[in-house]
Chain A
Amino acid sequence: MASVLYSPRDPGLKKRDELEDMLEERRRSSDARHALRCYAPAVYKGLAPREVSALRGAVLQSDALQHVIGQVSAECGERRELVQEEAAHLLDEMAHRLRLGTVRFFAYVLSKVFKTLFRSVRVNEEGVQRLQQAIQDHPVVLLPSHRSYMDFLMMSYILYTYDLALPVIAAGMDFMSMKVVGEMLRMSGAFFIRRSFGGDKLYWAVFSEYVKTMLRTGYAPIEFFLEGTRSRTGKSLTPKTGLLNIVMEPFFKGEVFDIHLVPVSISYDRILEESLYARELLGVPKPKETTSGLLKARQILREDYGVMHVYFGHPVSVRSLAQGRVKRSQYNLVPRHIPQRPCLAAQALVGEAAFRLVRLQEQAMVLRPWTLVATLLLQNPDGMDLPVLEEQAAWLRRLALSFGAFLDWPDCKPCREVVGAGLALHKNLARVSGGRVRLAVAETPGVGQTAEELAFDRAVGVLSCASYRNQILHVFIRPALLSVALRTANSSRKDEVYTCFNFLWTVFSNEFILCPGASVQDFEEACYLLGKCCAVQESQQDIVMSEGGHATLAFLRALLDPFLQGYQVVCQYLCKETEENLRENKFVPAARNFALQLILAGVLTLCYEALSSDLQKNALAALVQLEAVTKVKVGDQVTLKVNRRAASSLEDMLGTF
């Protein structure tokens, strides 16, 4: 079944591919046969696939690793053979051991699981075809968004199904502790990296050489998550550039002609980890990944998770990115196996590319009507009459589309039905009674429940719901920043509005994906979009709200409210904190407690999002960036030095918005 997705009316915006349900075929034919079928993917330049053992030898004998082994051995006075052994040990701990048998096993089991979990899994087949071509022409790096553990299982499953070369996936070490599953993941192409290995030269060398060897030889597509970890909030996370640096280096050094980076956007109707995430954000630690824990998760299988969307973006050529920006000849004067710090231009390029790729991921995430409904419900905590909700959802749909959202809202169905379907799927989050819809949060404490527990309970509901609203924030964020700036600026002169905009933009640069240095472009984009939906009028010098723009601007401002409030709470907390040497790891619990007390005291109503550790950390990062807080490292401890005046003036500033 092909479903037409809404291409925005603006022809300037990108046209998107159609999506097909890949499970349909699975529901019709034998899973066993699917798992056992002939699998012969096209490979890079027709090279014969290399054995895992050959790869191991190539890495261990590589000039680059040998060089570092020599260095380490000289530095710590260890015999070279011992260091070599250590390197081999690290590699074995890390390396994948892809085996077709395991892949077939997964193909079988996952067919069953996915059919149970999802109504359909829709994939843009044109994107798959593009990927297939890219894999044959260039080394490929797959960069999926990361919202769930399902992501990489699904990625490999899709590639297997479409007869594409299976990726080798960078996974966190925490999986390895799951005995059986860890090994099985390894045999289906995962390799494991320690979460932190900052100073360990040898580990870094083994790891980077392992990745680069696979890339240079076109061994297999490399897959990793730019965001580094699963986003618990539904918003994209600020990208990490470590691995991206590694995979781009073979191009800079001329070892490959080009490398293609393929952003992949994976979106879910319902995320399996939904309430787990909310609890985690509120400070209930996530359960350690254990095999038995996974088995307990079987109850998950009984629920309906709706539709899953996977959109393979256009490959981004590293060569084109670097064109005219990075002088590759900088590597001419030192043997290429000797580690060399990339020049500033290359560093800047990698950073920029990371943001650009995350934005590409965001833009190709399929948004479901429920995200709009969740947004409206969060703005109306007292609930809404169903017809009003429907009417507003329809309005919001038009707004989102005019901003270029990739919204999957069936054209042929009446709005009532579309909204109803979303409410039905998310009945754990929203309740309909007596024609009124509201968030499914407890009104009064349950038996034996403290006020505190009730507050947390409500917060779980709000944060879960917010994780859906957050999915569409990238569509609205720039116009929303402008809307707030418009109200606060002293005049309607563009430069003054921009000053306000830029302040907000800077404060929230850790909260949302705002490409470094692009505030002017973002401002222009915001002006354009608000102009396009007739919310503002622009002249040479000025920008003013139009007559009919009130509703749009009010809605957009309200989107930012929780964040403005949350950041203020963090500032207040830091100003009131009496501990001189506040340890960094104490910051989140203390800030959370501060916010909780405000909520319990009724000072802070309806702002459960201030309890989110994600928001608190982002706010802290912003404060550090604005030099209201300095991090001081004493031994292993990092303490926070608060500049109270700066923090309090920031709080005042945020209060004016």
Chain B
Amino acid sequence: SSHFFRQDIMKWNGWGYSDSRFLFNKKGQGEFTGKRYRLSGMILPSLKDWFEATFGTSLQHKTPATPTLNVSAVPPPNLVEPFVEELKVAGVAASHDPEGRVFRSHGHCLHEIFALREGRIGRVPDLVVWPNCHNDVVKIVELACKYNVCLMPYGGGTSVSSALECPLEETRSVVSLDTSQMNRILWIDEKNLTVHVEAGIIGQDLERQLNESGYCTGHEPDSMEFSSLGGWVATRASGMKKNIYGNIEDLVVHIKMVTPRGVIEKSCQGPRMSTGPDIHHFIMGSEGTLGVVTEVTMKIRPLPEYQKYGSIVFPNFQQGVSCLREVARQRCAPASIRLMDNEQFQFGHALKPQVSSIFTSFLDGLKKFYITKFKGFEPHHLCVATLLFEGDREKVLQHEKQVYDIAAKFGGLAAGEDNGQRGYMLTFVIAYLRDLGMDYYVIGESFETSVPWDRVLDLCRNVKERIVRECKERGVQFPPFSTCRVTQTYDAGACVYFYFAFNYRGLADPLHVYERVEHEAREEILANGGSLSHHHGVGKLRKEWMREAVSTVGLGMLQSVKEYVDPNNIFGNRNLL
């Protein structure tokens, strides 16, 4: 049935589509399977060497995942029969099929996936319901209040903050409210350039359908293949091209949310209002603790006439950051500009597919020679920025020149469109790589923060070093992969993304080590003036720092809103507060 469609083509214990995965073939060559991505079906000759050298692993030592879900390990559902009955009467689809419940019991934190791979199933929702429209949600919430059932909204399932984990202390029946059937574009308003959409729509579907009408929202978070509009609103998501289109809070014009107190929405679609604190800001970032977002009006833009990728090589990370800072100062950032550190640059190289012609490999060699020998860049210090320009052709070319001129002042050399495009393509496949690591004793995760410009360098250095240090102190045998990139620029600061992975052979409790290191890394971020989160949200993973992050009074404000809107904690996922 259509209810289970996504679940059927996606992995139950890893990232993304079932048909797409990295593996090392019999010859030991890296390979990416499937047909969905540019990298699909390609051989990656350097991956093995990079992998073994970076993690000190050997392909001999495997840690394969449990192949199939052991249904008998799933706890029996705790159902409130009259609730289920009344749902049926109301015509809302529901199921307590174990696979569906397990599928909606987690996001993509390392510990969640790691447990699934080992076949460990914790607390899972007791029932999954699929509302079809706003009114269905109203009914479900009413019934949940009536029977004191715990509701947990579920969108795309890409959370990395433990937001989808059922709280262990929850004794009521837990119902996962899957919004995936509320996925229609209800209308497009070309005069005001807005679109009214049901909140369960998945990012890529929204964008594809709008494109067909010649529009886009321009909101492209790295998870857009799987994440939902409602999820973006609930977590304050950020898109790669926010420099042109804005983050979710800039894009949203109107929100409708169903809460235990009733429906919350504004009475008009005025572009800006002075009507007290913006109630949208109680909703955005509420992480499913107040209600379910059902419909959203968003800004749209005509599709850009022209897109151009680009890349710049810098002699070192410091110069790269200075360049990004200058670009932000001049407010001329392209749709996207990202700066990878040296480790990520090398990693990008490891994912280069087999070169098809001698000519290309000759060209690559020549480029390398030019940069390292002629320009004197140190291969272990240089780093790369990737760029994406959008707009009408002439302006893009002008813009491009402006940015490359700034880069030149910081020693940056233009390094071609292809490298840029590859960089963005890697964004989508990189998430698959963790599953490969986990096949060979390597675990890892990414996390992010935002930080004022003057602290970017210090924060990056200190956090990376802290990770290395903590791993060493906790008995990790081989130095971890600890790397970062600057992924967004703002007037007053930047968003920084960290990747961190290590080889856990010889550790008795790798997950615990992992969690402690991530914890210490977050402490280091906060000590260096970074925020608790730029766009991943707080969930349950980062709750312990909320008071520090927003002050006691701030936390109290949020708590009192929760108390008013949902006094019986029907939306009981216990995120954030």
Contacts and interface: CB of A to CB of B under 8 A. Distances in A.
B506 to A, nearest CB: 25
A149 interface: no
Given A335-B454, A336-B454, A257 B466 contact: yes
A328 B461 contact: no
Interface string B440-474: 00000000000000110011011001100000000
A336 B527 CA distance: 13
A329 B526 contact: yes
A328 B454 contact: no
A346 to B, nearest CB: 13
A331 B527 CA distance: 8
Contacts of A257: 461-462, 465-466
A328 B524 CA distance: 9
B529 A254 contact: yes
A254 B462 contact: yes
A335 B493 CA distance: 13
B528 interface: yes
A328 B461 CA distance: 16
Contacts of A329: 526-527, 529, 548
A332 B528 CA distance: 7
Interface in A310-349: 327-329, 331-332, 335-336
Interface residues of B, number: 13
A328 B526 CA distance: 8
B393 to A, nearest CB: 41
Contacts of A495: none
Contacts of B526: 329
A85 to B, nearest CB: 27
A255 B457 CA distance: 9
Contacts of A336: 454-455
A254 B454 contact: no
A577 to B, nearest CB: 53
A331 B458 CA distance: 13
Contacts of A254: 455, 458-459, 462, 527-529
Interface centre among B455, B461, B526 (most CB of A within 10 A): B455
Q: How large is the interface on A (under 10, 10 to 19, 20 to 34, 35 or more residues)?
A: 10 to 19
Interface in B524-544: 526-529
Nearest to A336: B454
Interface string B167-194: 0000000000000000000000000000
B529 A332 contact: yes
Contacts of B528: 254, 328
A332 B529 CA distance: 5
Given A257-B465, A257-B466, A328 B527 contact: yes
A254 B452 CA distance: 13
A335 B548 CA distance: 20
B465 to A, nearest CB: 5
Contacts of B454: 335-336
Contacts of A255: 458
Nearest to B466: A257
A329 to B, nearest CB: 5
Nearest to A337: B454
Nearest to B529: A332
B517 to A, nearest CB: 16
B84 to A, nearest CB: 49
Contacts of A328: 527-528
A169 B384 CA distance: 40
B274 to A, nearest CB: 28
A336 B451 CA distance: 14
Interface string B193-218: 00000000000000000000000000
A183 to B, nearest CB: 35
A127 to B, nearest CB: 22
A255 B458 CA distance: 6
Given A254-B455, A336-B454, A331 B462 contact: no
Interface in A223-257: 254-255, 257
Contacts of B459: 254
Nearest to B468: A257
Interface string A337-371: 00000000000000000000000000000000000
Contacts of B465: 257
Contacts of B527: 254, 327-329
A481 to B, nearest CB: 38
A329 B522 CA distance: 12
Contacts of A332: 529
Interface of B: 454-455, 458-459, 461-462, 465-466, 526-529, 548
Interface of A: 254-255, 257, 327-329, 331-332, 335-336
Given A257-B462, A336-B454, 8 more contacts: A254-B458, A254-B527, A254-B528, A328-B528, A329-B526, A329-B548, A331-B529, A332-B529
11 contacts: A254-B459, A254-B462, A255-B458, A257-B466, A327-B527, A328-B527, A328-B528, A329-B529, A329-B548, A332-B529, A336-B455
The 4 closest A-B pairs by CB, nearest first: A328-B527, A254-B528, A332-B529, A257-B465
